[in-house]
Structure 1
């Protein structure tokens, strides 16, 4: 009886392990910085959360500032508020990119990216992703504020973006490693359960 209880317990542990390791992996990768004229460009903004932080109110504000050739003289460009995401209301705002900015974030709100359609040369500049999270706990509601900057260049033809390519390769390597780790753990747990089951049968006889 004790051996059978142990087998069931190990089976439960295996299921918990599989569910835990099969959770989506959040990888904080930098955004691409080269857009192609006339194409669609994704501006990536990743803000990973831990499992205990999944209950949070998230607000995302995207800003655009055109790089001014006169900035060396202390003259700065106007910052445009181009997109706002909230639970109750979200959407593109009036500005130089009006009608060409769309939400491209994930359902779990760890990927907070946007896309720009029909890119023009005037879209070159600095984009800011402002993320405000208010976490919901039993007795208090702490908040965090994160800002990420992306300097975008628009070109007529594509060239190699080394940083983005390296980040993408590392992301896939990490996913492959975690998948292999999950497989090894499943095989190990299966063998342990099989061995315990055999011992239980031997004890019954």
Structure 2
């Protein structure tokens, strides 16, 4: 009975861990800031909706501003991409034909993808999101601006966070394997102990004289 209860409890915990991540959750994560020459680069821009049940009209604009060559000269900001009314369009300019939509269907993630990154893509990117909510005659609007500084390198640098994550993954795998082994040994010992008790009970029953089996109230004869 105890073993069956433990199995049910472990199954319930496993179901909780499996089902919980499947719930839709919006998390505002920072964008990567290093791109590799000739590789695609995703510029992450997330604007979480506070009220998912309200329909909103969303417009997204992306701007690019190159790194200033001189301190006294302010570089010009260029409109490179826009998304409105389910239509995505890369504006004429240096990024024409090299930008692709990489956002989500609910428009909480409004990221874009730069194809075939070049050294000239280094600079400052600005993501501007405008949402107009529909409340009958009242249409409030909310906006958010996110800035990303992008550096293009010839080769990717080693990510220490990824290395630590990989190490922790292996440590966790070893721990779970050891825990599973302990559980198997524990269950085996419980089953073996139950079998020994059953065998002892059967042996003691067979050792009882037949007269006492027929009449349990009869005294035991030496």
Q: C-alpha displacement at 1:161, in angstroms? A: 5.4
CA-atom RMSD in angstroms: 2.4
Task: Quote the residue 1:41 is aligned against.
Answer: 41
Task: Quote the residue 2:111 is aligned against.
Answer: 113
Q: Distance in 2 between matches of 1:156 and 1:59?
A: 34
Structure-2 change in CA distance of 1:52 and 1:138 (3 Å): farther
Q: Distance in 1 between matches of 2:47 and 2:146?
A: 10
Task: Quote the residue 2:156 is aligned against.
Answer: 158
User: Pairwise mapping of residues 82-121 of structure 1 onto structure 2 (< 5 A)?
Assistant: 82-87=80-85, 89-121=87-119
Work out which of the residue numbers 53, 71, 76 in structure 2 matches 1:78. Answer: 76
Task: Quote the residue 1:148 is aligned against.
Answer: 146
Q: Distance in 1 between matches of 2:158 and 2:131?
A: 34
Q: C-alpha displacement at 1:76, in angstroms? A: 1.0
How many residue pairs get matched?
146
SS at match of 1:122: helix
Do the aligned partners of 1:34 and 1:161 also contact (CA within 8 Å) in 2? no
* Higher relative contact order (CA closer than 8 Å, sequence separation 6+): 1
Q: Deviations over 1:14-43 (max 9, x none)?
A: xxxxx9995411010000000000000000
Q: C-alpha displacement at 1:50, in angstroms? A: 2.0
TM-score normalised according to structure 2 size: 0.60
TM-score normalised according to structure 1 size: 0.65
Give yes or no for the alignment of 1:131 onto 2:129.
yes
Q: Which consecutive unaligned segments of at least 5 residues does structure 1 have? A: 1-18, 170-205
SS at match of 1:51: coil
Structure-2 change in CA distance of 1:53 and 1:134 (3 Å): farther
Q: C-alpha displacement at 1:148, in angstroms? A: 0.3
Task: Quote the residue 2:65 is aligned against.
Answer: 65
Q: C-alpha displacement at 1:102, in angstroms? A: 0.8
Structure with max Cα Rg: 2
Q: C-alpha displacement at 1:97, in angstroms? A: 1.1
Structure-2 change in CA distance of 1:162 and 1:133 (3 Å): farther
